[in-house]
Amino acid sequence: MTTEPEKKPKERIGVYVCHCGTNIAGIVDVADVATFAGEQLKESGVVISRDYKFMCSSLGQELIQKDIQEMGLTRVVVAACSPHLHENTFRTACKQADLNPYLCELVSIREQDSWVHTDKVAATEKAKAIVSGGVERVIHNEPLEPLHVPIHPATLVVGGGIAGIQATLEIADAGFPVYLVEREPSIGGHMAQFDKTFPTLDCSACILTPKMVTAGNHPNVKLYSYSEVEKVDGYVGNFTVTIRKKARCVIEKDCTGCGICQEKCPKKVIDDVYEAGLGYRKAVYTPFPQAVPKYPVIDKVNCTYFQKGTCKACEKFCPTNAIDFTQEDEIITVQVGNIILATGYDLFDARRISQYGYGRLANVYTNLEFERLTNAAGPTNGNIVLRDGMTVPKTVGIVHCVGSRDRNYNNYCSAICCMQSLKFAHLVKERTGATVYQFYIDMRTAYKDYDEFYQRILEEGTLFVRGKVAEVTDAARLPGEEGKLIVQVEDTLVGKQRRIPVDMVILSAGLEPRYDSKEVAHLFGISCSANGWFIERHPKLDPVATMTEGIFIVGCVQGPKDIPASVAQGAAAAARVLGRIQQKEIALEPVRASINQDTCSGCRICNNLCPYNAILFHEDRMVSEVNPALCQGCGTCVAACPAGAISGTVFSNEQIFAQIEGLLMVNFEHVAVAAQG
Amino acid sequence: MAENFEPVIIGFTCNWCSYRAADLAGTARVKYPPNIRLIRMMCSGRLDPAFVMKAFANGADGVMITGCHPGECHYLEQNYKALRRYLLLRRTLAQMGIEPGRMKLVWASAAEGVRLADEITKMVEEVRELGPLHWPTLKSGNGHLVALESKPEEVKA
């Protein structure tokens, strides 16, 4: 039921309209809005209405606190920015002045008004309506206490690349348990595939593998490799995570990692993951010699025994009888308080740009293939050769921005390609002495020591051609082009088309979200941007948290970034999680449903609506009851109850009805005239 | 009069997706007409059909219901419940003589600020075409004092 407007207002309401510098005041006549609230909303209980330059400043907050104490305000409405930005600020201010924080309402006249409208008169009218909606609503706000939820000290980290490893180690070193889940047989991620890292040219494995080993052996880390998260239940502080540990067909406690099974396995398989399709592995394998954990896995799709029923060579030769063909997937359930997602990126599929010839022209490589080619542990032992396996290239062309900064594919910059391409140029020069061309749109070498590296590559004599490559072809037209790959490019600095014959082309393919990023986002209850990267809580001020409490994102899941940035994010998220664990509990919005036991008719309509099974039915009394520990506060049951017996805090029927009334109080005809004028 | 008509639309938004889309539209300074006034809820599943009735009764010319895309609900599947209610409510409104175009369901993820702004712009134009809603018992534009308390209850039962 809605409430009748009362003759004598029962609340003393203060209204505060923020200028936000010119952000709001530039479009909305804030003084007019404040006057409107003070004069027109008197009947609803507004006793004071002010406008102020920056309400969120300490002076602005003091203004509210002073009024609460001196004027005895019982409700506060702040008209400023989105509640997602400053709701907490103003609630805290009220709390400090001994007003229950939930009696303060922040209404948005910036994101939803001044920033999206251009007509000043209409925007001011809308601001008045929004303020009026807030005033009517706040009357029905109830004093509430935040829900205090204990934080389970364990943390789940999903993805064992460098970002995930860093986060894992930071938390484990602080003395708290971590479950590290990795989809592949070994942790290490993309970084384990690289040979050198820019700009220092550190050996990638040399700096990564110690961290991998530490993570694998750490007493506080439980590593689940070759495993995937299947289900996530619960909420911050108390998630129940179901992990599928895929059958390795190797008994971990017996396996010594000696590698005899891999030696004896007769089945060779092209390694699409670790070797990027350039090399082979066996059907029983560890992706690379330094793999953590050291136990191999049997790839059932390619294993002769699983396909044809005979072979078992690995079993015969295993010195510790650690092979078990009957092993089945294991389902593990763990309790954690926080979750860090570090699931990384996929490489842009260069085949999609058919004019660059990848997959059609043998000597066109992707960046990941080239990483393997230069890696001493790679298929060519680090020799840079063409696909024939012996010819050393004399000229190499490196194409930037493949699938990045291109409206046909991805608009964004993949952030790592410029530096990576410069690194490639250096490695090619160093190992083959070949002439190297860089085909770039813009050189982007921000961050520490990056531009110095660019200068170094310039001095080494790499040739830079500014222009987007139109085509890579093997159709020779001019003398000297026979048997070569010809890069057709417009040199925008010279202003003419060029055809540059080379022996090898490396495509700097961009980074893309994982193919299953949407499903992963849904599994953990977070959002993806239109591109598929996970959305952080705030793009500048909160880059590792998400809108879902207790879920953090680090590394390339949040957007393309290089190793230093991924490590920084991993550590940052760990710091956030550790803070939570140290606090031992977290305060949550008390948005919960409850059922009035006297008016519940026992129809059980609500029972099936709850996705969390939070509603129990008492057979004896024939009434339903909400378990507040399970309720997440969506409010679906509140809306569905035919008897109106369910109420939801913070978003009650009374509050929403009143807000509708308030929003529609402002005279429409005034708007019409204003818009016309 | 008709050409001066500025419709007022009440928009119900989900805290996790469409409200954030509206915030994003703001941050990105995407422009749309000022005719819409938004109400935040935790989920589109919170939408009580009585809210829509209440908005029309109090003088709104249109109601926009927004939520997460199917399959992307923050509360697993509650947007489907909103969808069911919307479909039923559309028939009820038609029986009450309210044009179906006055109520619209829009899915908008937290990343779709531009899409939400486009949908709002479109709906404002559509409702402008329909003209003011003459709810039978509504006398003036100021709906604050108009008592229609029995109507929402009838819908619920």
CATH number at residue A294: 3.30.70
A318 and A405 share one domain: no
A319 and A364 share one domain: no
Residue with tokens 């679906």: A636
What is the SS3 assignment for A158-189? Answer: ECCCHHHHHHHHHHHHCCCCEEEECCCCCCCH
Tokens of A335: 């309790």
Number of domains in chain B: 1
Asked if A242 and A229 touch (Cβ cutoff 8 Å), the reply is yes
A251 and A398 share one domain: no
A277 and A369 share one domain: no
- Pick from A497, A512, A527: which residue ends a domain? A512
**Which of B5, B37, B41 lies closest to A651 in CB terms?**
B41
Asked if A566 and A163 touch (Cβ cutoff 8 Å), the reply is yes
pLDDT value for A4: 52
Q: Which domain holds residue A610?
A: 593-648
Model's pTM, two decimal places? 0.83
A139 and A17 share one domain: yes
Asked if A76 and A16 touch (Cβ cutoff 8 Å), the reply is yes
pLDDT greater than 60 at residue A547: yes
Least Cα separation, residue B56 to chain A (angstroms): 10
Distances (CA, A) of B155 to B47, B66, B80: 13, 21, 20
A256 and A399 share one domain: no
For A78, residues 6+ apart whose C-beta sits below 8 A from its C-beta are: A16, A18, A55, A64, A86, A90, A104, A105, A106, A107
Q: Is there a contact between A111 and B22 if contact means CB atoms under 8 Å apart?
A: yes
Residues in chain B within 8 Å Cβ distance of A649:
none
A589 touches B: beta carbon within 8 Å:
no
B146 touches A: beta carbon within 8 Å:
no
Tokens of B80: 């489907």
**Domain-located, residue A286:** yes
- Encode pLDDT of B49-92 as tens digits: 999 999 998 989 999 999 999 878 888 889 999 999 999 999 99
For A7, residues 6+ apart whose C-beta sits below 8 A from its C-beta are: none
H-type alpha helices, A526-600: 563-583
Cis peptide before A539 (omega within 30 of 0): no
**Which of A116, A527, A668 lies closest to B32 in CB terms?**
A116
A629 touches B: beta carbon within 8 Å:
no
- Which of these, B42, B112, B24, lies nearest to A529 by C-alpha position? B112
A377 and A427 share one domain: yes
A487 and A368 share one domain: yes
A305 and A369 share one domain: no
Residues in chain A within 8 Å Cβ distance of B134:
none
Q: Is there a contact between A668 and B6 if contact means CB atoms under 8 Å apart?
A: yes
A45 touches B: beta carbon within 8 Å:
no
Band (B147; pLDDT cuts 50, 70, 90): very low
Band (A59; pLDDT cuts 50, 70, 90): very high
A91 and A138 share one domain: yes
**Domain-located, residue A176:** no
- Pick from A464, A497, A512: which residue ends a domain? A512
Least Cα separation, residue B133 to chain A (angstroms): 12
CATH number at residue B123: 3.40.50
Q: What is the mean pLDDT of residues B93-111?
A: 91
Coil vs helix vs strand at A221: strand
For A255, residues 6+ apart whose C-beta sits below 8 A from its C-beta are: A294, A295, A296, A320, A322
A289 and A392 share one domain: no
Lowest mean pLDDT among A26-35, A202-211, A443-452, B139-148: B139-148
For B38, residues 6+ apart whose C-beta sits below 8 A from its C-beta are: A112, B10, B11, B12, B13, B19, B22
pLDDT value for B137: 52
Q: Which domain holds residue B122?
A: 2-156
Which amino acid, one-letter code, is at A395?
T
Rg (CA), chain B: 15
Q: Is there a contact between B59 and A664 if contact means CB atoms under 8 Å apart?
A: yes
Angle, in degrees to the nearest 10, between helices A58-71 and A83-96:
50
Residues in chain B within 8 Å Cβ distance of A661:
54, 58, 143-144
Tokens of A92: 């805290």
Compute the mean pLDDT over every residue in chain A, rounded to the nearest whole number: 93
- Encode pLDDT of A290-322 as tens digits: 999 999 999 999 999 999 999 999 999 999 999
Rg (CA), chain A: 31
Listed in order, strand segments (DSSP E) in B1-50 are 9-14, 36-41
pLDDT value for A548: 86
- Pick from A328, A358, A378: which residue ends a domain? A328
CATH number at residue A75: 3.40.50.960
pLDDT value for A458: 96
A365 and A483 share one domain: yes
pLDDT value for A293: 95
Residues A51, A67: Cα–Cα separation, whole Å: 13
- Which of these, A92, A134, A135, lies nearest to A112 by C-alpha position? A134
Nearest CA in chain B to A593: B46
Tokens of A392: 């050393």
Lowest mean pLDDT among A199-213, A417-431, A535-549, B108-122: A535-549
Q: Which percentage of chain A shows pLDDT scores above 70?
A: 97
Composition of chain B by helix, strand, coil, percent to 5: 45, 15, 40
Asked if A396 and A437 touch (Cβ cutoff 8 Å), the reply is yes
A663 touches B: beta carbon within 8 Å:
yes
Band (A456; pLDDT cuts 50, 70, 90): very high
* DSSP 8-state secondary structure symbol assigned to residue A250: B
Number of domains in chain A: 4
pLDDT value for A588: 85
- Encode pLDDT of A319-356 as tens digits: 999 999 999 999 999 999 999 999 999 999 999 999 99
- Which of these, A297, A379, A344, lies nearest to A559 by C-alpha position? A344
- Encode pLDDT of A372-383 as tens digits: 999 988 999 999
DSSP per-residue codes, A289-300? TT-SS---EE-T
Please give the backbone phi and psi of residue A507, each rounded to the nearest 5 degrees, phi first.
Answer: -95, 120
Band (B150; pLDDT cuts 50, 70, 90): very low
pLDDT greater than 70 at residue A390: yes
Q: Is the ipTM of this complex over 0.85?
A: yes
Q: Which 67-126 residues of chain A touch chain B by CB within 8 A? A: 82-84, 108, 110-113, 115-119, 122-123, 125-126
Nearest CA in chain B to A654: B51
